[in-house]
Structure 1
Amino acid sequence: MKPRASFIFLTLLLSAIWTLTLRAEPATDFSRFEKTIAAYEESDRAAPPPKGAILFTGASHIRRWTTLAQDFPQHQVINRGFGGSEIREATHFAPRIIFPYAPKTIYFRSGGNELWNKKRTAEEAFADFKEFVTTVHAKLPDTDIIYISNIRSLARASQDDLLKTMNTLIADYVRGKPHLRYIDVFDLMTDSSGQLRPECFVEDRLHLSPAGYKLLTAKVAADMGR
């Protein structure tokens, strides 16, 4: 091989290796939620939740929804949220916090953390959601999975476009498919002029206040009654 050709070949090879290195996905540290998941399992041993209930899981909007039982008194509900989590983690822990309950319905709210922390693109988070669906339906094919969309917040206004892209991808994906639904709450915390309402958030301007959960409860209740 001539020197110039060798140089070009080597340059292309190094470029390809560098590109693959940049795209290499860091391993997810599932152990960071081990204590939380183990605590749920301990609680289950002490008081086993009913089979066929309605399960809420996902990140902090679910974990902090401490009034679920009061908000939906006509239903048996289980809260298995873990704050700061990502979709991939919900999939990983499904055998421990989803499958044992054989829920008839899952309300799932996750995806914003990995976008905010720049761990995933909107497209990658969407792919993670599809994997979550595939994993759950492989074990529980008749369970309804309802994705509660990403929600705008005061603290993370800069990621609105990413959230909208991910929401759109998921909404289009679930449309018309059996046992899959989508609840759009992206603009739920806004006023008539499209401005976010501060009273719907707690001091961190990210998580929901009682007023915010009241709005979210109404949207989910409407889906339950459909």
Structure 2
Amino acid sequence: MKYNRQLFKKLFFLVLILNSLLFFAQDKPYWKEIQEFKKLDETNGIPKKPILFVGSSSFTYWKDVNDYFPEKTIVNRGFGGSRLLDLNNYSEELLTPYNPKQIVIYCGENDIATDNPTAAEVFERFKTFFGKIRQKYPRVPVAYVSIKYSPSREKFWPEVTEVNALIKSYLKTQKKAKYIDITKVMNDANGKLRTDIFLDDMLHMKPEGYKLWSQVMKPHLK
């Protein structure tokens, strides 16, 4: 009986620990979105050597991305209003399953707009994620899409410029790494940002905006 009571106590505490871990996991930002990706992969399967898109809502909203690049096989794993911090938190789930031929990143805009980090801090978050990619996929090409100048976040534009410049300079020093600048293509003939390509929130884009992006991105996709 004494042995059974001890075993029961051990099992009871084990259940408590497992429940606590599950609770804290579900409490993490975007935990549910990551679980949805797992379900999609189980249901649909993972294509062989896809181009992996990872990042924030500008990729999340690009639900028909494969229509813009019909000759490519793209797995889009943009989620919510994620930050580079979130990409780092979920790097294992975002990177490991896909064995991609190329990784394309759009992220950093929400970092800048949240918690007032310095440009250097946002850049360090990017370097951390890039390092995680290189640990797992040393030879897979990586492309970073520059942070766009969203009209609703005009007060952050100086930081956007600084972060973009830091990341661009860094990627020049790295092998199999590209910086894709989508700034000019989003401007009008006078060099001013086109607001007509944005939704009413002046943050996310209409299909015309993605069409412009695809024109710039296409030559860089494997």
TM over 0.5: yes
RMSD between superposed Cα atoms in Å: 1.5
Structure 1 gaps, min length 5? 1-28
Structure 1 CA distance, aligned partners of 2:130 and 2:97?
16
Alignment coverage as a number of residue pairs = 197
Q: What are the Cα deviations for residues 136-193 of structure 1, in whole angstroms up to 9, with x where unaligned?
A: 1101111111110100121111111100000000000011421211011134321121
Question: 1:51 offset after TM fit, Å?
Answer: 3.1
Q: Does 1:131 align with 2:113?
A: no
Q: Specify the alignment match of 2:113 in structure 1.
A: 116
Q: Does 1:78 align with 2:75?
A: yes
Q: Aligned match of 1:213 in 196, 210, 213?
A: 210
| One-letter identity of the residue aligned with 2:218 | A
Q: What are the Cα deviations for residues 60-117 of structure 1, in whole angstroms up to 9, with x where unaligned?
A: 0000011211111111100000121101211221211221101111110000111112
What secondary structure, in the 3-state scheme, does the structure 1 residue paired with 2:143 have? strand
| One-letter identity of the residue aligned with 2:114 | N
1:172-183, aligned counterparts within 5 Å? 172-183=169-180
Q: Does 1:162 align with 2:159?
A: yes
What secondary structure, in the 3-state scheme, does the structure 1 residue paired with 2:97 have? helix
Structure 2 CA distance, aligned partners of 1:208 and 1:30?
29
CA contact (8 A) 1:53 1:78 kept: yes
Q: Specify the alignment match of 2:28 in structure 1.
A: 31
Structure 2 gaps, min length 5? 1-25
Structure 1 CA distance, aligned partners of 2:206 and 2:143?
22
How many percent of aligned residue pairs carry the same amino acid? 31
| One-letter identity of the residue aligned with 1:45 | E
1:1-226, aligned counterparts within 5 Å? 31-224=28-221
Structure 2 CA distance, aligned partners of 1:133 and 1:223?
18
Q: Specify the alignment match of 1:5 in structure 2.
A: none
Structure 2 CA distance, aligned partners of 1:192 and 1:75?
31
Question: 1:224 offset after TM fit, Å?
Answer: 2.1
CA contact (8 A) 2:53 2:78 kept: yes
What secondary structure, in the 3-state scheme, does the structure 1 residue paired with 2:168 have? helix
Which has the larger displacement, 32-41 or 85-94? 85-94
Structure 2 CA distance, aligned partners of 1:152 and 1:160?
6
Q: What are the Cα deviations for residues 181-226 of structure 1, in whole angstroms up to 9, with x where unaligned?
A: 101113432112122212210110111111101000111102127x
More contact order relative to length (CA 8 Å, sep ≥ 6): 2
Question: 1:118 offset after TM fit, Å?
Answer: 2.9
Structure 2 CA distance, aligned partners of 1:66 and 1:101?
18
